Amino acid sequence: MVARHLVFKLWEGEAGIKGASTSSVPIQPSTALTYPTEGSHRVEFIVGQAEQLEAVLSKVQTIPEVSSVVTLPARAEGEDQTRVSLNCTEKAMQDVVALLSQNGLYRKTEILLLQKPLLPQTGMGRLCKLSEPASLSALIERIKNYLKLSYVRLALGVGKTLESQIRTVAVCAGSGRSVLQGVEADLYLTGEMSHHEVLDVVGNGISVILCEHSNSERGFLLELRDMLDTHLENKVNIIVSEIDRDPLQLA
């Protein structure tokens, strides 16, 4: 959320560079807290004989944490058979597999790890594509102006200059290396990275702007205050510090 706010203010909102609106997507998308159905795994297997099917189903349905048992007609090896699909937890999956092994069905079994649904436009970091490229120097001034900073730390990618054109920017507030690692972009914008992390990035031709950890987050506090005011129905007086500063200063 902090990165998305930063992207909007820098490039998509009124403070953005003229003609440089962006489209952006999360770098690491978030998922829902729960699965759409019960269970984290789906087990599918094929049974040939009706007697065996009845026996297996009766035992499967006694296993705790098994749900959504479905049978469908299938044809395999030139014979009419039945395909069984069920959802279960990881713990129950062990019992299901043991049961299928006892009945000689393990070789006809598929196990699928279910994924929690993605939450649209939600996640860590943002990968932004500028509708029109802008020079690195122009972006630096825009960033300093919005964050109210007298300086940022800059590492030029190999073969790049201040006039290099930037088309894609990967953004992560705070300490962003774990989120930004491996992302293809012209520029990384984050709060902090280690010496060797920066060397690794610039060696791949990607420039890096570091704003210091809390400087990349502080601009979101006013937005967060308003969100909390709404959520708490203005029943709590929320104060944003006027003296909070990044602990690292120039001496």
Q: What is the pLDDT of residue 112?
A: 94
238 located within any domain: no
> In the chain, what percentage of residues exceed pLDDT 70?
91
Q: Nearest-CA neighbor of 183 among 171, 175, 192? A: 171
Looking at the structure, tell me whether residues 74 and 151 fall in a common domain: no
Over range 127-138, report the average pLDDT.
Answer: 93
Q: Nearest-CA neighbor of 147 among 247, 239, 10, 242? A: 10
CATH number, domain containing residue 27: 3.40.1390.30
Give the count of beta carbons closer than 10 Å to the beta carbon of residue 174: 15
Whether 184 has a binding-site annotation, put simply, is no
- Whether the per-residue pLDDT at 17 is higher than 50: the answer is no
> Token pair of 72, please?
């469908």
Domain that includes residue 84, residue range: 41-113
> Do 44 and 94 touch, CB atoms closer than 8 A?
no
Indicate the pairing of strand 187-192 with strand 207-210.
Answer: parallel
As for how many domains the chain has, the answer is: 2
Per-residue pLDDT of 136-195, as tens digits, reads 999 999 999 888 899 999 999 999 999 999 999 999 999 999 999 999 999 999 999 999
Q: What is the pLDDT of residue 12?
A: 54
- Whether the per-residue pLDDT at 15 is higher than 60: the answer is no
What is the CA angle 154-156-161, rounded to 5?
Answer: 115
Q: pTM for this one? A: 0.76
Q: What is the pLDDT of residue 251?
A: 84
Residue that wins the pLDDT comparison between 139 and 15: 139
Looking at the structure, tell me whether residues 81 and 12 fall in a common domain: no
Q: Model confidence at 19, in pLDDT bands (50, 70, 90)?
A: very low
Pick from 39-43, 216-220, 226-230: least confident: 216-220
> DSSP state, 224?
H
Over range 209-223, report the average pLDDT.
Answer: 90
Three-state secondary structure call for residue 3: helix
Residue that wins the pLDDT comparison between 229 and 74: 229
What is the CA angle 201-202-208, rounded to 5?
Answer: 80
How far apart (Å, rounded) are the C-alpha atoms in residues 95 and 130? 52
Q: What is the pLDDT of residue 58?
A: 92
CATH number, domain containing residue 50: 3.30.70.2750
Over range 110-122, report the average pLDDT.
Answer: 91
Q: Model confidence at 4, in pLDDT bands (50, 70, 90)?
A: low
How far apart (Å, rounded) are the C-alpha atoms in residues 221 and 225? 6
Looking at the structure, tell me whether residues 19 and 141 fall in a common domain: yes
Q: Nearest-CA neighbor of 46 among 19, 84, 18? A: 84
Looking at the structure, tell me whether residues 153 and 221 fall in a common domain: yes
242 located within any domain: no
Per-residue buried b or exposed e for 81-95, using 16+ beta carbons within 10 Å of the residue's own CB: bbbbebbbbeebbeb
> Do 64 and 92 touch, CB atoms closer than 8 A?
yes
